């Protein structure tokens, strides 16, 4: 099987500025744990404050880019994955390029005049909160996607993953790729990504969903999605089933919904049935940082999906990757996976 460029991701490349902070810092900037939000005016000074007062690490991030990097690491096949998004022409952008190259991902960044996007990762007691200042990441244009050398990545890919965060940036790019995937019978996957996406970007999300063959998410996002759609249920299994049964453009395959629930079993809804898969439980003292756990799960899952492995193996690989990542700072991993 030809693996070069088999998996393509598009999203918001952000440089994670990650630090263990204290509750006082969270209170000062009105930040809730286990949340993901876009930076507002009140958050803009926090990036410098973090760098000045805490032990900060810089890690190439952004949800989709994390998942693609993890899939690449799990596959260990150079150039199996590609990625597009927008960065700035600055030192953070250079850092991002270096990081991606080292990870073995074939990146085609659009380079904008605004600064490279950053994401503050505030860690307290192993739990994290994300505050993204999109900046250059917010400037991606479908014109970049349409350039022959970039569209060639779309044509080469058999599997495509675009997390919901990209809905806030370039919905027209998502639609171009989603329509291509449906027309060519490729597998298009997406993610609920965050409660605010389900709430404030419902209309664009509803446009993209008919093209989705696999939808990922976590239990909080699933419950928000349910409430926004007036489903009047908090039951994650029921919600996963309902998402899997939403109208679909490409009817040659049924949609699969995959919902993670932290330490609780992963919910998979497919073809009118729900299956639960246990996760690898980690003793609290081994938990370093939950940042990137969901992204890593998706990356692990996709690494097996592109090899046409059964869903059970995909979930197992997702759980393995998430388990590795939460024992490290940021979305980082050892040199080689030991997934069996």
Q: What is the pLDDT of residues 105-139, one digit of tens each?
A: 999 999 999 999 999 999 998 888 999 999 999 99
State residue 109 phi and psi, 5-degree precision: -80, 145
Q: What is the pLDDT of residue 310?
A: 97
Look at residue 205 and tell me whether its pLDDT is greater than 70.
yes
Look at residue 35 and tell me whether its pLDDT is greater than 70.
yes
Q: Residue written as tokens 């679909």?
A: 248
Residues 312-320, mean pLDDT to the nearest whole number: 97
Q: Which domains does the chain have, with CATH numbers?
A: 7-13+61-115+135-325 (3.40.1190.20)
Query: Which of 26-30, 81-85, 123-127, 187-191 is least confident?
Result: 123-127
State residue 89 phi and psi, 5-degree precision: -90, 65
Better-scored residue on pLDDT, 39 or 286 = 39
Look at residue 261 and tell me whether its pLDDT is greater than 90.
yes
Query: Which of 9-23, 138-152, 206-220 is least confident?
Result: 9-23
Q: What is the pLDDT of residues 80-113, one digit of tens each?
A: 999 999 999 998 899 889 988 889 999 999 999 9
Task: Please report which confidence band the pLDDT of residue 332 belongs to, taking 50, 70 and 90 as the band edges.
Answer: confident
DSSP for 78-126 reads: TTSEEEEEEEESSHHHHHHHHHHHHHT-EEEEEEESSPPPEEEEEEETT
Look at residue 74 and tell me whether its pLDDT is greater than 90.
yes
Task: Please report which confidence band the pLDDT of residue 60 belongs to, taking 50, 70 and 90 as the band edges.
Answer: confident
Q: What is the pLDDT of residue 2?
A: 85
Which of these, 194, 216, 174, lies nearest to 38 by C-alpha position? 194
d(CA 7, CA 303): 9
Based on the residue annotation, tell me whether 295 is a catalytic residue of this protein: yes
Better-scored residue on pLDDT, 281 or 309 = 309
Task: Please report which confidence band the pLDDT of residue 289 belongs to, taking 50, 70 and 90 as the band edges.
Answer: low
Residues 71-85, mean pLDDT to the nearest whole number: 96
Strand ranges (DSSP E) for the chain? 7-10, 14-20, 36-38, 57-61, 81-88, 106-112, 118-124, 127-133, 159-163, 187-191, 214-218, 256-261, 264-270, 273-277
- Give the rounded percent of residues in the chain with a pLDDT score beyond 70: 99
d(CA 247, CA 57): 43
Residues 285-290, mean pLDDT to the nearest whole number: 75
Q: What is the pLDDT of residue 101?
A: 87
Catalytic residue among 22, 143, 295, 338: 295
- How confident is the prediction for the chain on average, in pLDDT? 94
Residues 307-329, mean pLDDT to the nearest whole number: 93
């Amino acid at each position: 099987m030809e693996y070069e460029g088999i998996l393509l991701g598009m999203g918001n490349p952000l440089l994670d500025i990650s630090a263990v902070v204290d509750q006082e810092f969270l209170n000062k900037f009105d930040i809730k744990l286990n949340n993901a939000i876009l930076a507002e005016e009140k958050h803009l000074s926090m990036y410098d404050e973090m760098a000045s007062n805490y032990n900060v690490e810089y890690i190439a991030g952004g949800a989709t880019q994390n998942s693609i990097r993890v899939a690449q690491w799990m596959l260990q096949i150079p150039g199996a994955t590609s990625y597009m998004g927008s960065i700035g022409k600055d030192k953070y952008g250079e850092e991002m390029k270096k990081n991606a190259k080292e990870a073995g991902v074939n990146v085609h960044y659009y380079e904008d005049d605004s600064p490279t996007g950053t994401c503050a990762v505030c860690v307290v007691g192993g739990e994290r909160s994300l505050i993204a200042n999109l900046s250059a990441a917010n400037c991606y244009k479908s014109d970049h996607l349409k350039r022959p050398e970039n569209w060639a990545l779309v044509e080469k890919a058999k599997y495509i993953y675009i997390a919901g965060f990209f809905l806030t940036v370039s919905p027209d790019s998502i639609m171009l790729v989603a329509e291509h995937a449906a027309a060519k019978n490729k597998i298009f996957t997406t993610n609920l990504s965050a409660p605010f996406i389900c709430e404030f970007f419902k209309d664009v999300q509803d446009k993209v969903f008919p093209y989705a063959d696999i939808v990922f998410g976590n239990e909080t996002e699933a419950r928000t999605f349910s409430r926004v759609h007036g489903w009047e249920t908090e039951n994650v299994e029921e919600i996963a089933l309902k998402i899997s049964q939403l109208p679909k453009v490409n009817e040659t395959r049924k949609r699969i919904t995959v919902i993670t629930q932290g330490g609780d079993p992963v919910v998979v809804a497919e073809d009118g049935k729900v299956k639960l898969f246990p996760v690898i439980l980690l003793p609290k003292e081994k938990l370093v940082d939950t940042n990137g756990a969901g992204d890593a799960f998706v990356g692990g899952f996709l690494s097996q999906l592109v090899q046409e492995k059964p869903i059970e193996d995909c979930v197992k690989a997702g759980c393995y990757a998430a388990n590795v990542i939460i024992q490290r700072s940021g979305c980082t991993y050892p040199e080689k996976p030991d997934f069996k």
